[in-house]
Amino acid sequence: MEATATTLWKNRKFDGIAAYTRAAAPAWLQEIVQPLFRDAMFARLRRRTGRRFVKAADLACGVGDWSVRYLEIARRVVGVDINPEFLAAARAAATRSKRAASLELIEANLVEYDGLDGADFVALGACLQCLDDHEVERVVSRASAALRPSRGVLYVRTSVVTPLRTPYEESDGFYRDRTTYEELFERHGFRVLDAAYSATVVAEHLAQDWLLCESPPTRAAVSATIAVPARLARVLKRENDFCNWILERRA
Ligand SMILES: C[S@@+](CC[C@H](N)C(=O)[O-])C[C@H]1O[C@@H](n2cnc3c(N)ncnc32)[C@H](O)[C@@H]1O
């Protein structure tokens, strides 16, 4: 099999649940920051879309921690991933959910997956960087074809290069800039409802839902105080950042 970013994900062996994430982030970060980020992102998805979905497709669902949460905003969820080990962990996580029967987990290459019919919410979480340009076009075009204009929502979270770096390619993925993704969404008929780096998502959640800052200027000042240093550190250290887009299919 030709070695590509995708086959690497399929063939790499992981030592039990999420050895990958253990390697990528220290335990305290996983236990505190990642659940906080998910809470923040769900609060944001609810605010920006303001509705419950019929069918959510979580493409590249990994160990299923997002798929299980999508059950909060969708009646039915389909999680798709290429890695059987991750899917086994996702199945185990699903059994702990009261709504496990509404979650289906499928082993497939998301580039080939053609089960988006009836989906009104599609998530592409931290996976577009695993796909080459041709594959990314194909996946976003399929999502666009499946989602109904003015109703369907696409949520994308992906790694982007910060301003002091130029886009690059490594054995594990393709690191593009934010503009490249935004042009892609535009080309495939999506309108940006919301775009924010992950640190901003968390900072705005803390300001609004934890610190209960009521007026928009106070909220903006408090969240900027938290998010700007985080963003600046990434830019100066030439690290990639994660950008989150909530997109709606244009009429
Ligand atoms: C960084 S993890 C992200 C998991 C999860 N979506 C999240 O947001 O935490 C990337 C996932 O993409 C999956 N993946 C990579 N290429 C894929 C492909 N072509 N088809 C399906 N899944 C793929 C990997 O197996 C892995 O679970």
Q: Going along the chain, which residue ranges are E strands?
A: 53-59, 74-81, 103-107, 121-125, 153-160, 168-170, 173-175, 190-197, 241-249
Q: Is the CB of 105 under 6 A from ligand 1?
A: no
Rounded Cα gap, residues 29 and 41, in angstroms: 17
Tokens of 242: 């994660």
Measured from the Cα of 111, ligand 1's closest atom is 19
Q: How much is the pTM?
A: 0.93
Parts of the chain with a pLDDT under 70: 1-31
Measured from the Cα of 5, ligand 1's closest atom is 16
Total domains in the fold of the chain: 1
pLDDT of residue 34: 83
pLDDT of residue 16: 47
Measured from the Cα of 124, ligand 1's closest atom is 6
Q: Is the CB of 30 under 6 A from ligand 1?
A: no
Q: Is the CB of 181 under 6 A from ligand 1?
A: no
Q: Is the CB of 123 under 6 A from ligand 1?
A: no
232 Cβ contact list (under 8 Å, min separation 6) = none
Q: What is the CA radius of gyration of the chain?
A: 18
Residue whose Cα lies nearest atom 26 of ligand 1: it is 62
Distance 13 CA to ligand 1 centre (A): 14
Q: What angle do CA 189, 116, 122 make, to 5 degrees?
A: 60
Q: What angle do CA 206, 208, 213 make, to 5 degrees?
A: 110
pLDDT of residue 33: 79
Q: What is the CATH number of the domain that holds 63?
A: 3.40.50.150
Q: Is the CB of 70 under 6 A from ligand 1?
A: no
Rounded Cα gap, residues 11 and 54, in angstroms: 33
Phi, psi (degrees; rounded to nearest 5) at 129: -70, -10
Measured from the Cα of 109, ligand 1's closest atom is 20
Distance 149 CA to ligand 1 centre (A): 26
Distance 41 CA to ligand 1 centre (A): 18
Q: Is the CB of 90 under 6 A from ligand 1?
A: no
> What type of residue sits at position 33?
V
Distance 233 CA to ligand 1 centre (A): 27
DSSP letter for each residue of 157-177: EEEE--TTS--EEETTEEEB-
pLDDT of residue 17: 45
pLDDT of residue 35: 87
> What type of residue sits at position 54?
V
Query: What's the domain range around 239?
Result: 5-249
